[in-house]
Structures are given as structure tokens and as C-alpha cells.
Amino acid sequence: MPSRLTSAVLATLASAITVSAHGHVVTVSIDGTSYQGFDPTSAPYGPQPDSITWSNGATDNGFVLSSALQDPDIICHLDATNAALSAPVAAGGDVSITWNQWPDSHKGPVIDYLADCGGDCSTVDKTTLKWFKISEMGQLELGSGSGTTGKWADDLIIENGLTWKVKIPASIKAGNYVLRHELIALHEGLTEGKAQMYPQCINLQITGSGTQSPEGVVGTQLYTATEAGILHNVYNDEKLSSASDYKIPGPAMPAFDGSSSNNNGGPSSSEDSTPTSTASPEPTSTAPALTTTASTTAPTTSATAQPVVSSPAAPTPTRSCSSKKRRARRHARQVKNL
């Protein structure tokens, strides 16, 4: 049985992976149309096209710590601001979400929420949005323990070409919504306040004849730092009897179409919430192909999308390495001729 010190050492080793190994959403695909995601790592150096994904300030692909779960950053990521566009999706349809990368050491659940904007999602105050779960998946298989982790929901993202598919409940009322797609990394979750949260927000215009409008919870009240699904040691599976012993954090998922929520690990939406079985869905001929790296192609937008004028920061000029080398050689000649 590993000691607490052993678990702490393993957590430290896991956290030693550079922040560049973390990730962000690069592509959202709906009904054959692909939309480019906001790239926080490129945003400081040039304009970003309007997108259906919310912008955020995680320029190092970073995270929100579980010590800040009552901070507005937990809602849609660090300093997140509203997306200018919305993508149409039919209730009962699928939304495929592709990340640029995700480290194998980062084990944890994948949770998807919706919040009704009650109007224009490009201007809604994020602190007023009330979120309800539509999909959740936690631990799938126990590890052997003694420092060996089991299989988790985010492992399926890696297995499926960095793509996760979530189904919009068929019974949901039509309207403008924000989809909150979240990965939680628990490799340091044995220490209070050290679990890493990676929320990504996407504007959707849901169509259909559904009438269900579940009550939600504001983002700053979704979690606490000490609840079992956040404060959790992924290295000590020998203390668990089954993967369902892990309790997915957050509020209970409402029932859709007569289905009940399931907080015990497996896929649990009213429909099939399993991730895609291929690397990426097939886009239309006019849409950019899905890739696992950040795209530079402007997103395909719908007729109902409402772009806004943005004023991104201009690129910061830098000196090249080659110019530095030329100056060094010139200086060496000058010294020699003295």
C-alpha cells in the first residue's frame, strides 16, 4: 500500500509536465459543419476570428485550481468573455468537441452542462447563467493501486482522436444556450485546492419542439474544494471496491425523457453520450477538416450567428535569433581588428 508520501511524489511528478501539455478546444463540429475554437495561446500575438467558443486568458493552456471554485473564472475559464457567434443544433443532435492535446497523466471526469441564456448569448452575464448537467462520465476501471491509476473518462478523449461527443437532450426547450464542456484533472487531487479544472464554453442555438427547461445552478456554486469528486487520490485505487465508488462532482443530473441521472461513473445522459469512435467527424466540403492542432481557418457560421466587432491586441515584435548571431559575428571582427 503506498504511503501518503509516495502519492505526493507521484502527484509532483505528474505536475512536472509543462503547461504546454495541457489543452484547449480547437474545433467544434455539428451536423457536418466545423467551427474553429478560440486559441488562447495565439491570442496575445494576433487577431482571433469570431468564434462560437468563448475566449479566455489561459495563454499557457492553464487551468482553474479547485481552490478558486467560487471565483467567476470557474464558469468558462480564466477571464472568459462571451463568444460572438452561435451554432445551430437540433435537440437530440450531437456536438463533437476536439481538443488540441491532452496529457495521459491527467486523469479525471468529463462533464457537460447547458445554461439557458434567456436571450443573446453574446452579451449574457456569465455569473447569472444557471447550469444543469446533460452528460457525465467518471472512472471507468480501477487501477491496481500502489501508484497505478485506472481508466478515466478523459482517457477516452485520447483514444478517440482527442474528440468528445455529447448529445443535446431531445426534450430540451428550444432557445439560446451555452454548452459548458469540462475536463477535471485529478493528478494532484489528493491535496485540497490542487485539482485542475478545464472548462470550455460554446454558444448554441438549439431548435426543436421540446419543452423541458431544467433548473440549474450558477457556476460559482457547482463545486466545493472538499467534495469527494474533487478532493480525490487517483493513485490509491486499492482502497476502492469498484470504479463506481468515485462520485462525479457537481449537482445531480436531471432526468430527460424519463431517464434518471447517474453519478457513478459510466456514460449518463438521457441519450448515448459516448465519445466519438473515430478521430473526427466528417466535415462538409466547405468546412475546415478537424485536426488535433489549432486551426487557422475562420469558422463556418450560420445565418443566425451574430458576430461582434472585436479589437484584439496587435502582435508584439521580437528580434530574431539570426539577427542576434549577425551582431555577435560583427562584434567579434571588430575586437579582432583592435
CA 301 to each of CA 38, 132, 327: distance values in angstroms, whole numbers, following the listed order = 14, 26, 48
Q: CA distances (Å), 273 to each of 156, 253, 267, in order? A: 12, 13, 6
Choice among 18-27, 36-45, 176-185, 218-227 with the minimum mean pLDDT? 18-27
For residue 219, the one-letter residue type is: G
Percent of the chain's residues with pLDDT above 70: 70
Residue 11 scores a pLDDT above 70? no
**Max CA separation in the chain (angstroms):** 89
List pLDDT tens digits, range 228-282. 999 999 999 999 999 999 999 999 999 998 453 443 333 444 344 444 333 333 3
What phi, psi does 210 have (nearest 5°)? Answer: -65, 160
- Bridge-based pairing of strands 87-90 and 196-207 is parallel
What pLDDT, on the 0 to 100 scale, is given for residue 21?
66
The alpha carbon of residue 117 and the mean position of all alpha carbons in its chain are separated, in whole angstroms, by 20
Q: State pLDDT tens for residues 175-232.
A: 999 999 999 999 999 999 999 999 999 999 999 999 999 999 999 999 999 999 999 9
DSSP string, 172-240: BBPEEEEEEEEEEE-TTTTSTT--EEEEEEEEEEEESSB-B----EEGGGS--TTSTTTS--TT-GGG-
From residue 322, how far is each of 45, 319, 325, 330 by CA, in Å? 21, 9, 5, 13
Name which residue leads in pLDDT, 60 or 269.
60
Q: Are 270 and 255 in contact (CB under 8 A)?
A: yes
